[in-house]
């Protein structure tokens, strides 16, 4: 994969039910309101280093239009900031971004949260590898 493109391709999307379940059961989490990041180290058959899923709760947002908008904002914010994660992380990870807020977010709010989450993830993972 070329790392200098700001793309979010189909093969980067987290689709495996098994990995989703693994994220909820044994995944580590980081919060930066209104977004929570669940992640775990896994290996993928297709050679991708990082796969990403996004979730907007049906319980808080009944309208599919609103949930889709939130998921679109989460994907876009990740797409704009993923270079930071790709360039500094070794290993294969599955990410799941969960929206925790009760109201419709603005892009700036989501983007700031994603940046904080990716920075915290890098610090946490790089720190664990050094120890």
In the chain, domain spans: 10-130
The packing angle between helices 64-88 and 107-130, to 10°, is 40
Q: CATH says 10-130 is which class?
A: alpha beta
Task: Write down the pLDDT at residue 126.
Answer: 73
3-18 pLDDT, tens digit each: 557 888 899 999 999 9
19-72 pLDDT, tens digit each: 999 999 999 999 999 999 999 999 888 888 899 999 999 999 999 999 999 999
Task: Write down the pLDDT at residue 109.
Answer: 98
Angle at 101 between CA 42 and CA 58, to 5 degrees: 75
Give the pLDDT band (50/70/90) at residue 129: low
């Amino acid at each position: 994969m070329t790392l200098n493109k700001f793309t979010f391709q189909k093969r980067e999307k987290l689709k495996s039910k098994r990995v989703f379940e693994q994220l909820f059961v044994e995944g580590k989490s980081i919060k930066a309101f209104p977004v929570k990041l669940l992640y775990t180290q896994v290996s993928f058959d297709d050679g991708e280093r990082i796969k990403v899923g996004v979730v907007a709760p049906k319980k808080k947002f009944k309208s599919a239009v609103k949930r889709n908008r939130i998921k679109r904002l989460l994907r876009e914010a990740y797409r704009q900031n993923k270079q930071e994660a790709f360039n500094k992380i070794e290993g294969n990870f599955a990410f799941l971004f969960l929206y925790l807020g009760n109201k419709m977010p603005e892009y700036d709010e989501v983007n700031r949260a994603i940046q904080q989450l990716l920075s915290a993830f890098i610090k946490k993972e790089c720190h664990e590898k050094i120890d």
